[in-house]
Amino acid sequence: MKAGIFKPVRFRAFRSLFGAQLFSDLGNWLDFIALQVIVDYNWGLDETAIAAVIIVLGLPWVIIGPFASVFVDRLPKKQIMVICLFLSILIVAGLFFAPNLYTLLIFVFLKGTVAAIYDSARQSILRYTIPDNHLPQAVTLSQLSTNTMKIIGPALGGGIIAFFGAKSPFLFEAVFFFIAMVFLLTLPNIDEKEMNAENKPKTKNSDGGYYWGELSDGIKHILYTPLLKISVIFSSVAFFIIFLYDGLLVFIAQNLGFNEGNFGLLISAIGLGSVVGSLLLGNWINWKNKPLHLMSYASIISGSLIIVMGFGIMGIVNLPYWGWMIGAFFLGFISSGESVPYSFILQSKTPKQIMGRVSAVATSLQTFSMLIAPAVGSLLAKWLGVSLVLMGAGGATCLLGALVLSFIVRRRINIQKDIHEKQFHA
């Protein structure tokens, strides 16, 4: 079934939301290089300081996002997002004037907090902007924005630094957040009465308060929705495996024959592949009927490609650097077969009124995996070597896909068995 990926843009509400996402995503990734340049080159600090910046940026998604999501689901989403973008502009100003690492870390933490709240609200309001039959294309466009800005943001930030100095990306970032805010101000107050009625607390929990009962609703929904539970676990484990070797990419590239000049091309090839894959999935949406199948097959194929790269480091497989770039492109291309279906499952299997809580809890699990994996990967690399870590990660990725496929098959067999038993007793 062929469907235009840009069809949701015809709807004014989604167009405003998507425009805001494009510029907010760009702003969030624009300072990725700047933060590292300031810490390393300007202040002369070591790798520990850079690791601290990355960890502090991710922590709010784990420890604040899920708890704040209860209020996100209760309150008007548009206003929350506008306030978050306004606060982001102020926080970016704080980053620009930060005199030392400790001050910088405070503002980095605040930026991560605002970003986590903003994303929870964006996930929550998405379904109100489009008809349900356009949901596959809408989540694909959202993922496309994320994947594209991961490439454009750091590259553009690096170029801005070269022309205007290390702290200049923060100024451009503030401008992009302002443009995103303008887009959001054009977002109509869609179904505001319906949203408020749906999100109004209905029952108190045992201690007489609403808060913990509402928070547990999001967790319970994941636990009691089989397809969603499997996809969240799948995605969290996949993130952990990916970030086992993500921090080792520079060493992997060196062993595959890349130098400082063309190392960036390898990363760009992965990003470009993910963008092309997202475009393909947005135009051909047959996968929406079996999204978990696609995630499983993509996992097995990408795991196989990672194992081949491990063989390359060991010298068993020898390819010119452009051959490895083609492999990196396909690795990114196949990875979209995991991220896009996951986003669709998250949106389609979650009621609108608890979308903020469910997405925040799921993102918290994924971010936790991403934060602890690099440290584990670096330790394993010291003990076993980069090649074995890479091959182990590839094998684990294949195994993950195979386990989920076996679960799908067993579940189908059990369902058919139950149907036959009911027919027999009838």
User: What is the arithmetic mean of pLDDT over 5-9?
Assistant: 88
Q: What is the pLDDT of residue 397?
A: 95
Asked whether the beta carbons of 267 and 256 are under 8 A apart, the reply is: no
pLDDT tens string 306-330: 999 999 988 888 888 889 999 999 9
Strand partners, 284: 2
In a domain, 268, yes or no: yes
Distance CA 139, CA 350 (A): 14
Residue 215 clears pLDDT 80, i.e. is over it: no
Task: Establish if 204 belongs to a structural domain.
Answer: no
Q: Which amino acid is at 95?
A: L
Mean pLDDT to the nearest integer, 162-180: 93
pLDDT at 402: 95
Same domain as 131, residue 76: yes
> Does residue 175 come out as left (phi exceeding 0), alpha (psi in the -120 to 50 range) or beta?
alpha
Say yes or no: 246 and 142 in one domain.
Answer: no
Residues 114, 82 share a domain: yes
pLDDT tens digits along 16-65: 999 999 999 999 888 888 888 888 888 888 777 877 888 898 899 998 88
Phi-psi label, residue 319: left if phi above 0, alpha if psi -120 to 50, beta otherwise: beta
Beta bridge partners of 254: none
Residue 209 lies in a domain: no
Note whether residue 290 is domain-resident: yes
Length of the chain, please?
Answer: 426
DSSP for residue 204: -
- The band of 371, judged by pLDDT with boundaries at 50, 70 and 90, is confident
- How far is it, in rounded angstroms, from Cα 393 to Cα 304? 10
Give the pLDDT of residue 210: 67
pLDDT the model gives residue 421: 63
Q: Assess whether 231 and 193 both reside in one domain.
A: no
Whole-Å CA distances, 320 to 255, 257, 323, 397: 12, 8, 5, 25
- Rounded-to-integer distance, Cα 53 and Cα 301, Å: 33
DSSP state of 39: I
The pLDDT score that the predictor gives to residue 211 is 66
3-state helix, strand, coil in the chain (%, to 5): 85, 0, 15
Is the pLDDT at 3 greater than 70? The verdict is no
Give domain status of residue 244, yes or no.
Answer: yes
Task: Give me the mean pLDDT over the 415-424 stretch.
Answer: 64
Mean pLDDT throughout 65-83?
89
The pTM of this model reads: 0.84
Token code pair at residue 70 = 């209860």
Is residue 241 one of the residues assigned to a domain?
A: yes
Integer Cα distance of 6 and 177 in angstroms: 23
pLDDT at 417 exceeding the cut of 90: no
Contact predicate 283/144, CB 8 Å: no
Question: Is 91 a residue whose pLDDT tops 80?
Answer: yes
Residue 288 confidence (pLDDT) above 70? yes
Query: Which CATH number goes with the domain that contains 267?
Result: 1.20.1250.20
Average pLDDT, the chain: 86
Distance CA 185, CA 28 (A): 19
Burial of residue 395 (number of CB atoms within 10 Å: 0-12, 13-18, 19+): middle
Provide, rounded to the nearest whole percent, the portion of the chain with pLDDT above 70: 90
Place of tokens 């306030």: 83
Residues 221 and 342 in one domain: yes
pLDDT at 191 over 60: no
Q: Are residues 327 and 374 in the same domain?
A: yes
Residue 206 falls inside a structural domain: no
Are 185 and 271 part of one and the same domain? no
**Range among 69-78, 89-98, 121-130, 244-253 with highest mean pLDDT value:** 89-98
Q: Residue 228 belongs to what domain range?
A: 217-426
Domains held by the chain: number: 2
Of the candidates 157, 173, 199, which is a domain's last residue? Answer: 199
Q: Which of 137, 164, 199 is the last residue of a domain?
A: 199
Question: Are 155 and 269 within one domain?
Answer: no
Query: What is the arithmetic mean of pLDDT over 370-393?
Result: 87
pLDDT of residue 206: 43
Same domain membership, residue 148 and residue 62: yes
Residue 328 counted as domain residue: yes
**What residues contact residue 105 under an 8 Å CB cut-off, 6+ apart?**
52, 53, 56
CA distances from 277 to 164, 307, 341, 397 (A): 34, 21, 12, 19
User: What local confidence, expressed as pLDDT, does residue 261 receive?
Assistant: 61
Q: Clarify whether residues 142 and 80 are in a common domain.
A: yes
Has residue 406 got a pLDDT over 70?
yes
Residues 242 and 372 in one domain: yes
Rounded Cα distance, 299 and 373, in Å: 18
Do 240 and 330 sit in the same domain of this protein?
yes
Average pLDDT for residues 165-183, to the nearest whole number?
Answer: 95
